Amino acid sequence: MTQVQVAKALRRPQTWVSKCELGERRVDFVEMLDFAKLYEKPLDWFAV
């Protein structure tokens, strides 16, 4: 998915998605749940 597609699905600006991906913005637990649901991945998939 592109950042624009993710942003649209999460109802956020594309810049918000970019900052999350670059680590410039912390993602809280509820937001991480939204990402996991959108990407159809378990939460532990996002763990470093």
Q: How far apart are CA 33 and CA 21, in angstroms?
A: 15
Counting Cβ atoms within 10 Å, is residue 30 exposed (0-12), middle (13-18) or buried (19+)? exposed
pLDDT digits (tens, 9 = 90+) for 3-40: 999 999 999 999 999 999 999 999 999 999 999 999 99
Model pLDDT, residue 13: 98
Please identify which residue in the block is written with the tokens 């918000």: 16
Who has greater pLDDT, 16 or 48?
16
Mean pLDDT, range 38-46, rounded to an integer: 94
45 pLDDT higher than 80: yes
Please report which confidence band the pLDDT of residue 48 belongs to, taking 50, 70 and 90 as the band edges: confident
For residue 39 the two structure tokens come to 């990407």
Q: Are 37 and 8 in contact (CB under 8 A)?
A: no
